[in-house]
């Protein structure tokens, strides 16, 4: 079996994983929920507003105001069951993908992946 075949096999295993099933279900629920979609749109708009403000102004009060509104909206998003479930499912799937990537990198390099303690375990200085 060649590398591409193994990659396809891994892709199929990921597609059948519980993490992917949970993510798909959460995405479907979110796409049917106008309130949840509205929350995500609001977050996106605030991110855009922040990006624009940071490139156009040096007035810290403007940036602080946007940041405060973003934090409040983020709390709303995480308090709403539909969006919270989506972000939890996405986080779990992303965690699985990171674990897979870490295993592959370890197989290639023989080095342990960075840990959550700011890479003090590997000394790479990447501030993981």
CA distance 64 to 51: 12
Q: For the chain, which residues make up each domain, given as ranges?
A: 16-109
Q: With 0-12 CB in 10 A as exposed, 13-18 as middle and 19+ as buried, what is 28?
A: exposed
Class of domain 16-109: mainly alpha
Give the mean pLDDT of 36-61: 92
Instruction: Give mean pLDDT, residues 24-48.
Output: 97
The mean of the pLDDT values for the chain is 91
Distance CA 7, CA 36 (A): 34
pLDDT above 60 for 49:
yes
The pLDDT confidence band at residue 12, using thresholds 50, 70 and 90, is: very high
**pLDDT tens-digit readout, 69-127:** 999 999 999 999 999 999 999 999 999 999 999 999 999 998 888 766 655 555 555 65
| Distance from C-alpha of 7 to C-alpha of 1, rounded to nearest angstrom | 10
Q: Which DSSP helix (H) or strand (E) runs through 92?
A: helix 81-109
Do residues 72 and 89 make contact, with C-beta atoms less than 8 angstroms apart?
no
Q: HSE (CB half, 13 Å, CA atoms) of 121?
A: 8
Q: Cα dist. 43→16, 60, 110 in Å? A: 31, 20, 40
Euclidean distance between CA atoms 69 and 112, whole angstroms: 40
Question: pTM value?
Answer: 0.78
For residue 114, what is the DSSP state?
Answer: P
């Amino acid at each position: 079996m060649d590398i591409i075949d193994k990659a396809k096999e891994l892709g199929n295993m990921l597609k059948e994983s519980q993490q992917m099933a949970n993510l798909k279900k959460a995405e479907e629920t979110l796409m049917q929920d106008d309130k949840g979609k509205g929350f995500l749109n609001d977050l996106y708009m605030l991110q855009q507003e922040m990006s624009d403000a940071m490139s156009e102004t040096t007035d810290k009060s403007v940036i602080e105001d946007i940041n405060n509104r973003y934090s409040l909206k983020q709390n709303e998003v995480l308090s709403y069951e539909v969006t919270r479930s989506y972000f939890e499912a996405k986080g779990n799937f992303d965690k699985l993908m990171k674990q897979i990537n870490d295993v592959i990198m370890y197989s290639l390099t023989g080095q342990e992946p960075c840990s959550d303690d700011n890479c003090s375990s590997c000394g790479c200085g990447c501030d993981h």
